[in-house]
Structure 1
Amino acid sequence: MRTLVDLFHSFAPLGDKTALINRTGVRRFTVSYRELSDLSLRMANLLAQRGVAPGDRVLLWGPNSSWWGVAYWGIIMLGAIAVPVDFMSDRARAESILGLTKATLVLQSRFKPERLDVPDALFLEDLQYLLQEVAPYADAVHPDPDDIAQLIYTSGTTGNPKGVILTHRNLVANMVQINEGVPIITPDFSFLSLLPLSHMFEQMGGFFTPLYRGATVIYPRTLKPSAIMEALGEEDVYVIMSVPRLMQLLKSSIERELAEKKLDGVFSWLAGKAQPLSKGARKRLFFPVHKKFGSNFTVFVSGGAPLDPDVFRFWDAMGFTVLEGYGLSECSPVLCVNTIDRQVAGSVGPPLPGVELRLDGKEVVVKGDNVFPGYYQNEDATRAAFTADGWFKTGDLGEITPDGWLTIKGREKELIVTGGGVNVYPDELEGVLNKVPGVKESCVIGLDRGSGEEVHAVLLLDDSGKRPEEILAEANAKLDSLHQITGYTIWNEPEFPKTTTLKIRKFQVKEHVKKGAAEGSGGASRDHLVNLLAKVTGADPDQIKEESLLVADLGLTSIGRLELVNYLEQEFRLDIEDSQIGPQTRVSELRRIISRREKGEHRGHYRFWTNSAPVRALRMIGDALINYPLYRLFAKLQVRGAENLTRLDGPVIIVANHLGYFDQPSLMFALPREIRYRTATAAWEEFFFDDYRGFERVWRRLAYQYGTLFLNLFPLPQTGGFSGAVKYMGKLTDSGLNTLIFPEGGHSQDGTMKDFQLGLGIIAKELGIPILPVKIIGTDKILPPHQASLPQRGTVTVTFGKPLHFRFEEPAEIVVRAQQAVAEL
């Protein structure tokens, strides 16, 4: 295998084997290896039709998904050059890279509130529709191994990005080196992708390597904790590509759960006793924790930053395998990794086969086919990156043991040299500070006061109220006298500025401290939230104040609330429910939710088991003995447009007007049995679960029990928690079930149809399935809504329209088309 094209040609023969899985938070979509091959060739043709030629640069700025993968392989199979940009980057950085590369075309995402304003840009989310109309690319591509495959732009310690040239030879070499160094991956493996594909650690370890071995990659839409745990619970995950910060967060989550159950002491005692045991015995001892990760979970792969030895020991004590590695984008990126047979806390392992490594002074320098040829159109930076004899200078300080294992001490540019000439490694001091109670996170920098650098701590404190002087005293008590921290600054933002792998951008922190900005309350994150609110609400950023009410002052609509929640999950990687944002929510309160990562309560009124075969059989019996005979006492049913039901191919959203309480049974009995018993009905949640008292509370709860069992109802809230209902509908759709919705949100009072609610558009967009319009006539004559009277006998007509298919329409357009279709029946 010489180029990525050779790897691509291995996809189609794997046929229906699952390559990629998209978990959108609502739906689950799979892409087979055959489909990945076909879609990628169509993508190559689409790019060619848009004016992209071999050798042109294509900017790829979007979140992880199968469509990112399709876009990437389409670029490669056209012979063009991919320019992945970190999805978390702001527009200014994307514009800078666009200018540096002079990219011919931009591929971006609708999930980014700030987009590049360039002609002919394509949205990744639209590819599923665009590629339907394009034939596979027929021209064979035969790149030379030394041709450029992609440009990766580094974050840069000074903020000036440099374009790392990675050739086909570089990428294929590292892929083969990894599989020789860690030969454990089989086609049965599933990788949970949590890091951006724009970062080489994830791209190599969680994209190329799994595809090389015929394994499966799983992409959650957001990195909020609940999405990660759901993926672990529902997918058969073998490997997680991780960074130290994420492993620390998972560790803290487990420790917090143990403390809440008063089991932290027992856990610590067991962890101590488990050390001499075999890994298998430790797995059995801590099986409740392993159960959360799945029966086949094999390994954490940690990279991107040094892993705290205490974090390593925490996972190792429970029998988890943690492979810490080391590399740089310039090296495609992996240089070293612990082996599956041996893992050492604090070490990044031996060099991979084919990688040469030595120390030049204390700096690690390397050679190998995986090492890049230079920076894009930057000869000065290229010359400075290599030694006179051609070894790449990593900029990292390290130590090599006699058996060849490497330990990284820190970045040379971050090394602090005190006035006394003592070398201080910031990472080591941060490891001490972060364990001191009261510290949420820390960043140690060197401040030059004119007589050498002083060791300065920038502290992000928790809510304990512990004084910073006490924190420093406690930390210094554990440090050598030559490595003492001499000053501090309090960081008042919710988080430090970070890279895509969650490393702190120390040069930005240092600049803020020098300017005194860290003592104030302003900062990039505050502006970012204000800009996000302005984007969603259309309000003037200058008019958005901390005391502004999101609904009353900024005009946040119900559809805007869901859009805001989606953006917040993407941008801040936190769990948040739309029910947490209400009429009384102010900007300051939203900032507090983000800062404290407060998790909203998820309503638990959904019962998916009512769609099981036994309950479906119960529903058939109930219809035969109770529901249908009772219905026939009052209604004569006429059905029109039944021929349109034969056109259904897969699940649909059934949409109807709403005249009265006989609408749902009338529509259901109008459906053929094979569709009727595979359809669930959305019902107004507040009808069952509002703040009722006494007997009314009892009968409404009983009505809910009957409705879920015998009518297959599920709750659809009108006042909050809408996202939970959409997620439930996604589960129905993934199981091949239909959803019935009455989008007027209530009964018509005079027989005329009310405007459909915008939520229908969001549901249709998220589910990605057709809408079946239905018109009901006559139910208001049998039992008028809001009238306490016995039903009157009458005729009900149910008319089915032709299914409506949607592609590029926005939610509002979908609602208009659906309402018009129902009205015209």
Structure 2
Amino acid sequence: METLSDVFATFSQRGDTTAFVHRTGVRRYVFTYLDLHALSLRMNRWLADQGVGEGDRVVLWGPNSPWWAVAFWGIVTRGAVAVPVDFMSGAERAEIIAGLTDAKLVIQSRDKLDRLTGRPSVLLEELGFLLEAVEPLATTHRPAPDDMAELIYTSGTTGNPKGVILTHRNLVANILQVNRHIPVVTPDFSFLSLLPLSHMFEQMGGFFTPLYRGAAIVYIRTLKPSAIMEALGEEDIYAIIAVPRLLQLLKGSVERELEAKGLGSIFRWLLKVGERMSRGGRSVLFRPIQRKFGRNFALFVSGGAPLDPEVFRFWNGLGFRVVEGYGLTECSPVLTANTMERQVMGSVGTPLDGVELRLEEGEILARGDNIFPGYFRNEEATRGAFVDGWFRTGDLGELDPDGWLRIKGRSKELIVTGAGVNVYPDEIEAILNRTQGVREGCVIGLDRGKGEEVHGVLILDGSGRPTEEIVNEVNAKFDELHRITSFSVWPEAEFPKTTTLKIRKFQVKERIEQGGGALGDGRGADRLTALVATITGSPLEQVTEGALLVNDLGLTSIARLELVNALEMEFRLDLEDSVIGPQTRVADLREIVSRREKVHIREHFRIWAMGGVALAVRRLLDTVLHGPLLRAFVTLKSLGIENLEAADGPVMFVSNHLSYLDQPAIMCVLPDAWRYNTATAAWEEFFFRNFKNLPQRLWKRFTYEYASVAFTVFPLPQSRGFRGALHFMGTLADQGMNILLFPEGERSRDGRLLPFQQGLGVMIRELGVPVVPVRIRGLEKVLPRGASWPQKGEVSITFGKPIHFRGESPTEIVDRARRAVEDL
């Protein structure tokens, strides 16, 4: 095996084995290896049609998903060069990279609010629709091992973009090296992909290795803790490729949940007890926690930055295996790693087979087939990166007597004080970040004319602990020459970071040197302000702390969902769109982001009411009660039932709303196969808010429980966020169930069609199901608004042809769906 084309050739042999599971937060989609092979060949053809040829650069700027993978392998089979760009990067950086590489095409995402213009481009999310009409191009490019496969621009924490050329030889060499060093991956494995695929650590550990071994990869839309834990609990995950900060976030999530249940002190005591037990014994002791990670979870693979020993102890103490490794993009990227048999806390392990390391004045030098040939169009940087054929990593390290490597820090971040003492920031940061009162901190060197001083930059946790007290506690653990000598409080809710959650210290240092840090509350958030301004379309100066998001800035129901999604992706926290109400101000939103507390909303969804015993009860009630009652008052006529034959379910029925009898009437005319496989959205507030006294409240609660079973009804809120309901709809659609929706939001008084709620467009786009328009006539006379008893009458129900949407905006979807109902 010499090139990525050899890896691609194995996909068709793996048949219907699962390659990807895509959890969008609403739906769950499965892609097999045959799907991946066929779609990649279609992508090959589509790229050829766009004029992309051998050696052309294609920018890939989107979130992790099966479509990112299809685009990547399409580029490989075309013989072009993939240029992955950090999804969290701004449009300015993406534009710079596109310019430096003379990109032939940009593949970007609709989830990015600021997109590239002025270049040939396509949205990643539209590839599924575009490739449907494309015939596969089976003639694939056969590259030479030393041909360029990828071009990755790294700025990391230094800010100077350099294009790292990675050849097919580099990548395949590292694939084989990694799998020889940690030979545990089998086709039974499932990897949870959390780090961006623009980062080589995730590519090698969580993309190339699983696909090389025929394993499955699970993608989730956001990195919020609840989505991660939900995927772990439902997808039988074996391994996670993680960076230390992500392991820290998961650690905090577990600890907060235990504290909330009053189990924090017991848990800490059990951790101490577990220190004297074997790994197997700890696994038994902490089985309730381990179960949350799935029955087969095997390991965390940590890299990208040194792992705090405290974080290692935590996960190791729970009985999990944490394998830490080390590498750089220029090394494809892995150089060293611990093994499944032995993990040494604080060490990044031994060199992989075929990798040579040596130390020169403390700096780690490396060579091997996985080392890149140079930087793209940057001969000066390439010359500076090598010495006598050895790659200079820029990292400082030491080897213990057994040959295990320990990382001391980046040579560029090493602080040399005025007294000539070398101070390693990582060592101080490890203590700082464990100190009460600190949510996150970093240490930089500031030169004020007498050599560098050790400067701490802190984001406080809001507990009110004095900053001086925090710094004094940290300094007490170091000798006088290695202590923090000055400090400031960062004026934003987060440090600027790479998508692997490493702090961009050069930006922190620039800001501090310009006077940007002060002894304040650390709660300013320029990124938050920018997000609110972008999503609401408001001028930046109007997004003040006291501005009401809805009334002052015009935040709509759709924009509210978009804002919450953006906040979750940007700050990696759990939110519900229901936290934003009419009285929510920018300052309130900032406080929510700063606290990072998971918002719990009590929902009333009844998945059990969609089948089983409840379905049998529903059939019985339809036969002996509901059917006879409806036919006693209504003469029903149906039109267009034959249109359902063309529907590739599940579908969403979208109907006008005239009467409380709309749902029973539609169900009555549907064939049984559709009737008993359709759930109906009903106004949540009717059941749970619109009551005046306890008897009325109890009556409405009874009617909801009855409707759940008798009519397969579920609640859809109108006065708060509907993301919980959208997630429930996705679960229904994944189970093959149809959904009936009345998007007018209220009953028409005279039969005329009212405006549709704009949230319908988001629902249809996220669910990805066809829409069947439905038009009811006559029920406004049988049981009109305000009537307490029905009158006899004739009613007609017309079903239109299914409508398939292909990437339209929510507004376009709503307009087209309403016209379809109106035209009936």
TM class by shorter-chain length?
over 0.9
Corresponding residue of 1:628: 627
Aligned-partner residue type, residue 10 of structure 1: T
Per the TM alignment, residue 690 of structure 1 is displaced from its structure 2 partner at its CA by 0.7
Aligned residue runs from structure 1 range 571-582, under 5 A: 571-582=570-581
Comparing 275-284 with 602-611, which one deviates more in the overlay? 275-284
2: distance between equivalents of 1:525 and 1:378? 38
Per the TM alignment, residue 471 of structure 1 is displaced from its structure 2 partner at its CA by 1.4
Any unmatched runs of 5+ in structure 2? none
Aligned-partner residue type, residue 506 of structure 1: K
Q: TM-score, normalised by structure 2?
A: 0.98
Asked whether 1:448 is paired with 2:447, we answer yes
SS of corresponding position for 2:730: helix
Any unmatched runs of 5+ in structure 1? none
Corresponding residue of 2:819: 820
Aligned residue runs from structure 1 range 442-591, under 5 A: 442-519=441-518, 526-591=525-590
Q: Is the 8 A contact 2:493 2:523 kept in 1?
A: no
SS of corresponding position for 2:351: coil
SS of corresponding position for 2:653: strand
Q: Is the 8 A contact 1:773 1:803 kept in 2?
A: yes
SS of corresponding position for 2:350: coil
Aligned-partner residue type, residue 264 of structure 1: G
Per the TM alignment, residue 594 of structure 1 is displaced from its structure 2 partner at its CA by 1.8
Aligned-partner residue type, residue 813 of structure 2: I
Per the TM alignment, residue 411 of structure 1 is displaced from its structure 2 partner at its CA by 0.7
2: distance between equivalents of 1:545 and 1:282? 51
Comparing 605-614 with 29-38, which one deviates more in the overlay? 605-614
Are residues 521 and 260 of structure 1, via their aligned partners in 2, closer, same or farther at CA, if it must alter by over 3 Å?
A: closer
Q: Is the 8 A contact 1:416 1:423 kept in 2?
A: yes
Q: Is the 8 A contact 1:165 1:376 kept in 2?
A: yes
Work out the number of aligned pairs and report it.
823
Per the TM alignment, residue 158 of structure 1 is displaced from its structure 2 partner at its CA by 3.7
Asked whether 1:139 is paired with 2:139, we answer yes
Aligned-partner residue type, residue 294 of structure 1: G
Corresponding residue of 2:30: 30
1: distance between equivalents of 2:376 and 2:55? 13
2: distance between equivalents of 1:424 and 1:555? 50
- 1:370-390 Cα distance to aligned partner (Å, 9 max, x none): 000010000110011111x21
2: distance between equivalents of 1:494 and 1:718? 31
Per the TM alignment, residue 110 of structure 1 is displaced from its structure 2 partner at its CA by 0.3
Aligned residue runs from structure 1 range 236-635, under 5 A: 236-387=236-387, 389-519=388-518, 526-635=525-634
SS of corresponding position for 1:432: helix
SS of corresponding position for 1:218: strand
Q: Is the 8 A contact 2:156 2:498 kept in 1?
A: no
Aligned-partner residue type, residue 207 of structure 1: F
2: distance between equivalents of 1:556 and 1:269? 47
Q: Is the 8 A contact 2:156 2:504 kept in 1?
A: no
Q: Is the 8 A contact 1:493 1:521 kept in 2?
A: no
Per the TM alignment, residue 408 of structure 1 is displaced from its structure 2 partner at its CA by 0.5
Q: Is the 8 A contact 2:162 2:375 kept in 1?
A: yes
Are residues 643 and 656 of structure 1, via their aligned partners in 2, closer, same or farther at CA, if it must alter by over 3 Å?
A: same
- 1:631-657 Cα distance to aligned partner (Å, 9 max, x none): 121111111112112222221000111
- 1:332-366 Cα distance to aligned partner (Å, 9 max, x none): 00011111000110000011111111111211101
1: distance between equivalents of 2:85 and 2:524? 20
Aligned residue runs from structure 1 range 91-102, under 5 A: 91-102=91-102
Aligned residue runs from structure 1 range 39-188, under 5 A: 39-188=39-188
1: distance between equivalents of 2:652 and 2:118? 36
2: distance between equivalents of 1:333 and 1:204? 7
Are residues 181 and 427 of structure 1, via their aligned partners in 2, closer, same or farther at CA, if it must alter by over 3 Å?
A: same
Corresponding residue of 1:203: 203
Corresponding residue of 1:781: 781
Asked whether 1:677 is paired with 2:676, we answer yes
Corresponding residue of 1:803: 802
Identical columns (%): 61
Q: Is the 8 A contact 1:655 1:742 kept in 2?
A: yes
Aligned-partner residue type, residue 175 of structure 1: I
Aligned-partner residue type, residue 490 of structure 2: W
Are residues 156 and 258 of structure 1, via their aligned partners in 2, closer, same or farther at CA, if it must alter by over 3 Å?
A: closer
| RMSD over aligned Cα atoms | 1.5
1: distance between equivalents of 2:521 and 2:253? 30
SS of corresponding position for 1:226: helix
Q: Is the 8 A contact 1:59 1:85 kept in 2?
A: yes
Comparing 157-166 with 659-668, which one deviates more in the overlay? 157-166
Comparing 716-725 with 639-648, which one deviates more in the overlay? 639-648
- 1:110-168 Cα distance to aligned partner (Å, 9 max, x none): 00001111233100000000001111123331100000001111115441200000000
Per the TM alignment, residue 791 of structure 1 is displaced from its structure 2 partner at its CA by 1.5
- 1:685-708 Cα distance to aligned partner (Å, 9 max, x none): 111011522221121111101100
2: distance between equivalents of 1:568 and 1:464? 23
- 1:301-337 Cα distance to aligned partner (Å, 9 max, x none): 0000000111111111121000000000000000111
Per the TM alignment, residue 524 of structure 1 is displaced from its structure 2 partner at its CA by 12
SS of corresponding position for 1:465: coil
SS of corresponding position for 1:223: coil
Q: TM-score, normalised by structure 1?
A: 0.98
Per the TM alignment, residue 824 of structure 1 is displaced from its structure 2 partner at its CA by 1.8
Corresponding residue of 1:754: 754
Are residues 529 and 476 of structure 1, via their aligned partners in 2, closer, same or farther at CA, if it must alter by over 3 Å?
A: closer
2: distance between equivalents of 1:767 and 1:156? 36
Aligned-partner residue type, residue 813 of structure 1: E
Comparing 626-635 with 293-302, which one deviates more in the overlay? 626-635
SS of corresponding position for 1:517: coil
Aligned-partner residue type, residue 703 of structure 2: A
Q: Is the 8 A contact 1:493 1:525 kept in 2?
A: yes
Runs (4+) off by over 6 Å:
520-525
SS of corresponding position for 1:518: coil
1: distance between equivalents of 2:523 and 2:2? 44
- 1:385-423 Cα distance to aligned partner (Å, 9 max, x none): 111x21101111111112211010111111111222211
Are residues 397 and 322 of structure 1, via their aligned partners in 2, closer, same or farther at CA, if it must alter by over 3 Å?
A: same
2: distance between equivalents of 1:542 and 1:321? 50
Aligned-partner residue type, residue 550 of structure 2: V
2: distance between equivalents of 1:640 and 1:3? 58
Corresponding residue of 2:5: 5
Q: Is the 8 A contact 1:603 1:724 kept in 2?
A: no
Q: Is the 8 A contact 2:489 2:520 kept in 1?
A: no
Q: Is the 8 A contact 1:84 1:151 kept in 2?
A: yes
Per the TM alignment, residue 534 of structure 1 is displaced from its structure 2 partner at its CA by 2.8
Aligned-partner residue type, residue 154 of structure 2: T
Aligned-partner residue type, residue 377 of structure 2: Q
- 1:753-796 Cα distance to aligned partner (Å, 9 max, x none): 111111111111111111111111111222112223x2111121
Aligned-partner residue type, residue 752 of structure 2: T
SS of corresponding position for 1:621: helix
2: distance between equivalents of 1:260 and 1:729? 29
Q: Is the 8 A contact 1:362 1:399 kept in 2?
A: yes
- 1:583-611 Cα distance to aligned partner (Å, 9 max, x none): 11122222222222243332311111111
Per the TM alignment, residue 544 of structure 1 is displaced from its structure 2 partner at its CA by 2.6
Are residues 524 and 164 of structure 1, via their aligned partners in 2, closer, same or farther at CA, if it must alter by over 3 Å?
A: farther
Comparing 321-330 with 245-254, which one deviates more in the overlay? 245-254
